[in-house]
Structure 1
């Protein structure tokens, strides 16, 4: 088989044409491709890519395109910008979307913004890193954060929070868009490439057959997929993997953190008393805007106490729409509820891996063009998509915001009933799912007798065991 390699003269010409900033960008873009490169040197990088058959006219044109060196595309490869864009739209890409995003942010970040960013990262980088970072580029700072495991393709909340703090919402929105579109890589996985093809695992769910994944192989320029067995073990709570139990361990003191964010102000006290009685460490916040809520979510996700606790609870009350919440800003589209869970899943909050994470949401729906029939209790329904990650319970009530207009100081019927059930000594001895089924029934009965104020209730979960909040 003939192996195609880029002529060394072309590589030499490209290396000579790049300035120092462009060389840094190329090294950053290719960091996952040649992670064992001993010295950060563009010439050695290009030679290594060529020797490993990763460099073809298509992949080289992608690199130059990402660096916006359209002149070199034409001069060295004889390819126009439009042709590269057409290839990128139809062919597998060599450079990860994460590294492309970081280089785009690097181009949009001025020196004052970078100085502010480094200041915000002072505690995370450490003083020695901060002193070094003053003259560094954004990409160098990102590399330092990657080494500290503070930033990765699936962990960008720190950066997003910093950009919001320095009033660069445009950059925060770039990260939000990436989070919506980019695939989530399994915990502990690294990005692997075969020639110019990025091989990635498909999204796995609890409903997937055990361990079947695809692995990309490049053959004659095409992609053949062969199935291989991937053995996966889901960590058990409170013990070794080999120990089998039919219920979650709920014995820590306290049981865990209960984060309450009430942007309406009618339910925080009641909910706080309930979870304090259940032996949770309660953290309560009123009237947060979206930026403040994101910072709080990020800080709570980083708490070291999770390592010693057995559970996590988040209660959120806000106005919103069918996709997200507005907090106190009333900015549309608001904060996506899908992202709420992402702060606490295993790769971003490893101390909660294998432990139950419970979310209780009261969303007061503002008027919009979207219509749904809220007169029924939607159990295991499709009102929103819940990431198929183990050990998540999601209970969400939706009611029209006109309820608040008619009675601004009234408590949520959903949260009031939930608190009553959890505080009942007899109910507390039941598995949590049994309690929530009774909650569904009570909300259904409420809808029958209060047709002008119907609730839509969603209950979905990926719990693997029985959960008793009594700690038995």
Structure 2
């Protein structure tokens, strides 16, 4: 039995549905839009509003309370209907809500294929949105400080998107004027500045053509300057201006900024396709890869028992199994057993059919090393060296990730509920003098350390370590959004950096180091993320 939508969707949704039912828009289509709305959080709605700024008038967007309001405006302007849902698919793609794409008949790959011809979000809007995604809370405070003369004296807390919109409203920022933005980024972050510079280079390099899709008159007043359309008979040479863009970030931005519906020469399209191929590591092989977990809990009388570590091992096994890896767990290995295990896995021929390799080590540690259960140190660099391209050719050019939960400095006696993964003072001075080491120079490695060199890391006796629990939590949250591993580890840093022991005196900061040449992005699993075990 069908239920009258006007009885169940609330006042705002009554208007949304009733007005469109009169236009014979199918109930199923509306239901899909409502399902999308229900799966979006407030930050997603703000992002959608921002990305639609060039398509819908400010006055309409200012009154938006939910994604349903945006969908209604897009339908009113004929940007969205049951026959053509690509703009909504593009918007969901831009805000990385990839699982929702299937509700409008698309996949992530299909959207990427169509962006070149159908994309409606301008390079300028893409650039601003990317900036907002990369502006941290500390950066935002600094930006607001630098721009205080241009902002109201009395103001509420601004988000990065709200600040950019304010600058646009004041005429301080536009598609053809990013000078103030550039000057601010010079003082804030080289990465933010490079994003702006890439936009500027791309804007100069690409022919300024009109969008080949119909443009509604209502959008022309705020769509920026529109150049004369180049005819197909004109020969256009497209080359980067100034120095060539060699780094991956710039190449990725050029690709993204060129994904408008521009009729570009076929030769450039091939270059764009090549750029897509090198953006991230190949992760579509027959098997994802192996994940080793070494969980050292008991050390006899030499070192303290690592109670709570089994919780970490269980969480790692559940999360990496969800991500498609074959997980193998080992417990309480001596230093020699750790080295022998690495040698065994180094020689495994099955790596050739795998996309990646992951190794997690949970133990006590000291600078640049971890302890076996016999209280002898094993160099982290030596562990990783088994998997270089020379030593393990089956993993050549494939990403190899190592996550180390261990102290990297002297022991710290913590309160009852917090313990340090560190050595005891009774250990020999020779073992304590091991010099700091880093990851091998060979490419395609990532080393995620629970703490920086010389410092302890913390472990709850029941809930596990701060670092591993944060890592598992962020993987569950951000992999479905398509985030790459470095972005995820930055979130882990933020999470752990906010934590403090119950006395408020002890802090911890993880440290990733890497020689990755491409983005490492886990394919989005079909199953829902495993819930955290309490």
- Shorter-chain TM-score: what band? 0.3 to 0.5
Tell me which protein shows more strand as a share of its residues. 1
Normalising by structure 2, we get a TM-score of: 0.37
Normalising by structure 1, we get a TM-score of: 0.42
